[in-house]
Structure 1
């Protein structure tokens, strides 16, 4: 397994506390937002400033048409990007501290935060709009907050690269969910981000993928599996640019320090 893939498995659960920890929703909802999806879009889109729904939809890529527009720009009538960023960091830091317990004050946290931050601020921003917006923000000083921020930078850097890989294969946002669900052996209609779509809308997406030879009645075709494998391989290759700055010894240290942190964070991520 490549180092970039190993880092993805370690840093993603830390970043994803932003979407599953109660402390985060509470901090964002305290700004006057209506629901958890308001909190999601305000928190994640905040580095983009007051970007309109069309821009956020393009950058996030994988939401069905109209979903972003139900929350952007409405959330900016209730709060500001600056307030949303502060609330998100506050909630994620509190959640990570709760999950880590005594480990939160261990020297390994500060060490991991410093190495992850070194990597997270080193990668190229060209073609990575969400990562670029986040990287324009100063890194927090407090180690737990600094670690969460670095994990988020690394996750969104990888995410922007993943979208580039999807685009290179001609796979759209909803199609990406279908592809991933079937890759994991799950019926598309049961998958988290698309299970709520009207059956006719989802079936139309699947029919389009079938016409291109990516799926059949049994799931992914050989061509579909090959497409998914190419996407994942290219995503890893593009993500690796964030870690070139780390020496082999620093990579080993970061992997070692992140292992118990990522494992603990997984307790709050429902997959």
Structure 2
């Protein structure tokens, strides 16, 4: 049945669309716009930029929604960031940064092309078919007004689809009993992460002691082998989590339909390639050009 292929299509759409979304974290224009808005350079922009749709959220709320960051790291930036720039100003700066970044990475001829216009329409149709129940980050971003220009409509739609998928992924992790650090350790152990295990640990601000304790616990439980790689049981666990994530992410693509979803994948492919080849995204050589993260 066609419907049986939709979770796989959801996964493929995520893989091809996510690099386009990710410019909002890694492009140099992002830090420039956030600092111009009043935020401190670095992590403050990431947390405020992604959380601004939630309003003046506390660090505890944001840590719960983001799931796998050390709450102490977020507390160093929120709610302090809101005294430097309102959530509304941060949202404005983020969109301006994405506009500049996509024009730079893709080129003016591409951002206004018929293919981007078509991709934007398809992605928006899918994003508007998402449902907000149990998905706080998606619901918050879905309340934001749609941009007008096609390349920004496409980025916003991909952002909604990503946050919708991310909320579902967290539910899958919780349902499988995988906590914050365990989620990071096992993802890094797949070899498919955008970052190395050490980069992930440092970026999420977990101490080496906390990380090593989780590795030891996962090894004792049989999820990791003695070399720190996923065991057969660990591979099965991650596969179950990804399958549950794909299933939870499927409804918008089921609404779009397999044929139009395949067209969206085809249209986003060259955009993904342009973003990856631009060097804007960080790269973990053990993971190749993976855009998971």
Aligned to 1:5: 11
Contact 2:51/2:62 (CA < 8 Å) preserved in 1? yes
User: What corresponds to 2:236 in structure 1?
Assistant: 226
Correspondent of 1:70 among 70, 76, 79? 76
Q: Secondary structure at the match of 1:71?
A: coil
Structural RMSD (CA):
1.7
Q: What is the aligned partner in structure 2 of residue 269 from structure 1?
A: 281
* Pair 1:55 & 2:64 matched: no
- Cα deviation code 1:37-67 (max 9, x no counterpart): 0000110000111111111000000102311
Partner of 1:203: 212
**2:183 pairs with 1:176:** yes
Deviation at 1:230, TM superposition (A): 0.5
Local SS of the residue matching 1:244: helix
Cα displacement (A) at 1:209: 1.8
The answer to whether structure 1 residue 245 and structure 2 residue 255 are counterparts is yes
- Contact kept, 8 Å, 1:123 with 1:241, in 2: the verdict is yes
CA-to-aligned-CA distance 1:103-138 (integer Å, 9 cap, x gap)? 112111111011101111111111110000001112
TM-score by length of 2: 0.88
Instruction: Name the CA distance, whole Å, in 1 between partners of 2:145 and 2:254.
Output: 21
Q: For residues 123 and 185 of structure 1, do their structure 2 counterparts lie closer, same or farther at Cα, with a shift above 3 Å needed? A: closer
1:255 aligns with 2:265: yes
4+ runs deviating over 6 angstroms:
none
Which runs of 5 or more structure 1 residues have no equivalent in the other structure?
A: none
Q: What does 1:75-154 align with in structure 2 at a 5 Å threshold?
A: 75-101=81-107, 102-154=109-161
TM-score, structure 1 length as denominator?
0.94
Q: Which runs of 5+ in 2 are unaligned?
A: 284-293
Distance across 2 between alignment mates of 1:9 and 1:249: 17
What is the deviation of 1:185?
7.6
* Whole-angstrom CA distance in 2 between matches of 1:180 and 1:145: 30
Q: Are the counterparts in 1 of residues 13 and 261 from structure 2 also a CA contact under 8 Å?
A: no
Q: CA deviation at 1:250?
A: 1.8
8 Å CA contact retained: 2:130, 2:252: yes
Structure 1: how far apart are the matches of 2:160 and 2:13?
A: 12
Aligned: 1:33 with 2:39:
yes
Q: In the TM superposition, what is the alpha-carbon distance from 1:189 to its structure 2 partner?
A: 7.4
- Equivalents in 2 of 1:97, 1:48: separation in Å? 27
Any idea what the Cα deviations from partners look like across 1:61-90, whole Å, max 9, x if unmatched?
Answer: 010231111111010110111111111011
